[in-house]
């Protein structure tokens, strides 16, 4: 089948069982990995980018040729750069200096204008805190007004969770033959978790939020360690709009070391070259199979490609 554009290649990624890894760790249960790092922009955020832009073009909120602006950690920006470029919308990505340089270069290669916002005092290069994100949001708001642009608003637009309620969730369920008993995801905007849970929870699947150790704001705990290496989430925000009405089975925490170790384990054991958040998801799935979901079948997302972290300590 010949597709009319790369936008039509967004979705329907493979679901792979991590049998070698499960055997090596002697786990009681199964882990199924959704390979969203194989999407055109090398991340799951392609789904949300496509859904949001198609929705606002259809309802007239986004005018033909109008500029699109968004606060991004890199992955949403890559997806928006692809979708906007094909559909004729200039795209401005506003991101923190704490994000990896590979993301910036990829977005610029795809035709995006990238605005880099300096980090907050005390923030570490290679890590993006909630304070950093607040500065990026301020810059994105200002640029949106100055350029008379449309703000894609991945943290608020319904198209984000909808992409996963109509795509990711049903795909996992159908591809697994209804075998999935649990799903967990590292919370960034919350769109993947909210959308997938909307579809999976009514089918008896227990859904869990994953946060960095020491920054379990969604779990209602005090934030003691907001700094962590897992880019694209874990911003220590106590509320994410997409998750306001989501019924969760629980909250899990993963250390930066565990996320890093599990990303490396995925590469060595299963040949899956993914990033920090995929490692965090694997670490959380291991927790579940050694705890409340023992004997079950846990689905996780391989959120983005390890190629986006070559300048970080992930592959040292």
pLDDT tens column, 33-64: 999 999 999 999 999 999 999 999 999 999 99
User: Is residue 208 a contact partner of residue 101, using CB atoms and an 8 Å limit?
Assistant: no
β-strand 91-96 against 113-117: which pairing, if any? parallel
Phi, psi dihedral angles at 194 (to 5 degrees): -65, -45
Give how far Cα 242 sits from Cα of 58, 69, 144, 157, 211, Å.
Answer: 22, 20, 22, 8, 16
Question: What is d(CA 283, CA 266) in angstroms, rounded to the nearest whole number?
Answer: 11
Per-residue model confidence (pLDDT) at position 222: 75
Can you tell me whether residue 304 is helix, strand or coil?
strand
Per-residue model confidence (pLDDT) at position 237: 61
Per-residue model confidence (pLDDT) at position 52: 98
Nearest CA-CA partner of 34 in 26, 51, 46, 49: 46
User: Is residue 268 a contact partner of residue 177, using CB atoms and an 8 Å limit?
Assistant: no
Per-residue model confidence (pLDDT) at position 214: 78
CA 261 to chain centre: 19
Per-residue model confidence (pLDDT) at position 236: 60
Per-residue model confidence (pLDDT) at position 235: 67
Per-residue model confidence (pLDDT) at position 227: 67
Question: What is d(CA 171, CA 177) in angstroms, rounded to the nearest whole number?
Answer: 10
Would you give the DSSP letter of residue 312? S
Nearest CA-CA partner of 304 in 103, 158, 30, 98: 103
Strands of the chain, DSSP E: 15-17, 30-34, 68-71, 91-96, 113-117, 150-151, 182-186, 206-212, 250-254, 297-301
Please, where are the H alpha helices in 176-246? 191-200
C-alpha torsion sign, points 103, 105, 111, 117:
positive
Per-residue model confidence (pLDDT) at position 103: 82
User: Is residue 251 a contact partner of residue 216, using CB atoms and an 8 Å limit?
Assistant: yes
Per-residue model confidence (pLDDT) at position 296: 98
CA 165 to chain centre: 15
Q: Which residue numbers in the chain have pLDDT < 70?
A: 224-228, 231-238
Question: What is d(CA 144, CA 65) in angstroms, rounded to the nearest whole number?
Answer: 15
Per-residue model confidence (pLDDT) at position 69: 97
Domains assigned to the chain: 6-43+157-315 (3.40.50.1100), 45-151 (3.40.50.1100)
Can you tell me whether residue 30 is helix, strand or coil?
strand
């Amino acid at each position: 089948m010949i597709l009319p554009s790369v936008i039509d290649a967004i979705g329907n990624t493979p679901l792979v069982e991590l049998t070698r890894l499960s055997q090596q760790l002697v786990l009681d249960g199964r882990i199924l990995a959704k390979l969203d790092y194989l999407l055109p922009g090398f991340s799951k955020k392609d789904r949300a980018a496509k859904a949001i832009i198609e929705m606002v073009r259809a309802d007239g909120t986004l005018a033909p040729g109008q500029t699109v602006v968004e606060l991004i950690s890199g992955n949403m920006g890559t997806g928006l750069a692809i979708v906007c470029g094909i559909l004729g919308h200039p795209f401005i990505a506003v991101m923190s200096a704490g994000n990896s340089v590979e993301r910036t270069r990829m977005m610029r290669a795809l035709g995006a204008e990238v605005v880099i916002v300096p980090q907050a005092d005390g923030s570490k290069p290679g890590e993006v805190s909630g304070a950093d994100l607040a500065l990026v949001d301020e810059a994105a708001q200002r640029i949106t007004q100055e350029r008379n642009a449309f703000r894609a608003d991945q943290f608020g637009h319904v198209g984000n969770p909808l992409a996963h309620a109509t795509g990711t969730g049903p795909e996992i369920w159908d591809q697994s033959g209804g075998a999935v008993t649990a799903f967990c995801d590292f919370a960034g905007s919350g769109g993947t978790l909210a959308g997938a849970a909307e579809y999976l929870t009514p089918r008896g699947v227990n859904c869990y939020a994953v946060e960095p150790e020491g920054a379990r704001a969604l779990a209602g705990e005090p934030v003691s360690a907001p700094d962590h290496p897992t880019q694209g989430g874990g911003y220590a925000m106590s509320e994410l709009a997409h998750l306001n009405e989501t019924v969760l089975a629980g909250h899990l925490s993963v250390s930066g070391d565990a996320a890093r170790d599990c990303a490396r384990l995925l590469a060595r054991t299963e040949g899956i070259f993914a990033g920090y958040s995929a490692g965090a998801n694997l670490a959380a799935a291991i927790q579940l199979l050694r705890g409340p979901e023992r004997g079950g079948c846990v689905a996780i997302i391989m959120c983005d490609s390890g190629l986006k972290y070559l300048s970080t300590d992930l592959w040292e």
